């Protein structure tokens, strides 16, 4: 397959320095979801801002905001306006208080809703777990949203919102595309105009197999970043294979994704990564 000609790295244009580290804010359950316990929007925002402060004080390069507490997730077309509204309100406050680029991950696979949130709040990028092709996830059959999403992005004049797209995404079965190597799936992501590719392990917090990163790199000239499994203990081993990383679970209290960010854990990660980032 013919993929696009080389173009400037989206990461270089968006983040300061090399090998950017992007902190993940896992929001608690939002209004209307099964695990929501009646928390006020003000309290949800304040918790997110405490995480922002921990990331900012520890010199993280970016932040991504996701509705991870909304388990069990819905298919993209079933995500209600209450979630889009809540995420937009939270993102607006986070961006106003963050001195680094902020992204949106609307679960599950809500590319169009994520773009709407980004446009309303000023977020710089969205993460999309299945940008092309299809796989069988916990939510059922999840199909690539790129065609509709790119047309919607054009419609709302949000071409400055970058697309960070997973390749061979976690939490599901890829039997549908099992006859096609991961490298070809990475080529598909680039061919369908994503800006950054993401490699991840099998589940939230799982370390990325090295062969997964190698396979993705073989199929694309886009930047490849981590989407799971980076810790202070393994960052020196894995980050040299990548162009950056989204880091979440390992930065939370007790290493559990739904807990608050612990500034000591963030500082340990940044310190462990510092020699790699200084020489790039």
Tens digits of residue pLDDT in 138-149: 899 999 999 999
User: 111-131: per-residue pLDDT in tens?
Assistant: 999 999 999 999 999 999 999
Over 80: is that where the pLDDT of 253 sits? yes
Spatial separation of the C-alpha atoms in residues 30 and 84, rounded to whole Å: 10
Task: State the average pLDDT over residues 133-139.
Answer: 90
What CATH number does the domain located at 12-274 have?
3.20.20.70
Which sign does the torsion angle of CA 13, 2, 191, 210 carry?
negative
Strands 224-226 and 196-199: parallel
Per the listing, tokens 């997964």 go with 212
Lowest mean pLDDT across 3-7, 49-53, 132-136: 3-7
Structural domain boundaries of the chain?
Answer: 12-274
Rounded to a whole number of angstroms, the distance between the first and last alpha carbons of the chain is: 31
Contact 101, 62 (CB under 8 A): yes
């Amino acid at each position: 397959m013919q993929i696009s000609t080389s173009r400037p790295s989206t990461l270089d244009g968006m983040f300061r320095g090399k090998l950017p580290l992007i902190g993940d804010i896992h929001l608690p359950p939002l209004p209307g979801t099964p695990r929501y316990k009646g928390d006020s929007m003000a309290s949800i925002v304040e918790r997110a801002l405490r995480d922002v402060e921990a990331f900012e004080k520890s010199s993280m390069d970016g932040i991504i905001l996701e509705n991870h507490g909304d388990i069990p997730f819905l298919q993209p077309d079933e995500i209600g306006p209450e979630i889009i509204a809540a995420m937009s309100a939270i993102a607006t406050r986070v961006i106003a208080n963050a001195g680094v680029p902020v992204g949106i991950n609307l679960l599950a696979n809500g590319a169009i809703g994520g773009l709407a949130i980004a446009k309303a709040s000023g977020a710089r990028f969205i993460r999309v777990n299945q940008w092309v092709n299809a796989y069988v996830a916990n939510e059922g059959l999840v199909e690539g949203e790129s065609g509709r999403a790119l047309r919607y992005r054009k419609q709302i004049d949000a071409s400055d919102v970058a697309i960070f797209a997973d390749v061979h995404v976690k939490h599901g079965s890829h039997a549908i595309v099992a006859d096609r190597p991961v490298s070809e799936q990475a080529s598909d992501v680039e061919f369908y105009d994503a800006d950054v590719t993401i490699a991840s392990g099998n589940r939230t917090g799982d370390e990325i197999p090295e062969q997964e990163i190698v396979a993705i790199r073989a199929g694309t000239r886009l930047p490849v970043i981590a989407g799971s499994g980076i810790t202070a203990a393994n960052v020196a081993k894995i980050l040299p294979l990548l162009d950056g990383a989204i880091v979440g679970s390992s930065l939370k209290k007790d290493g559990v994704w739904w807990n608050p960010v612990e500034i000591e854990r963030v500082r340990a990660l940044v310190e462990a990564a510092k020699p790699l980032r200084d020489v790039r």
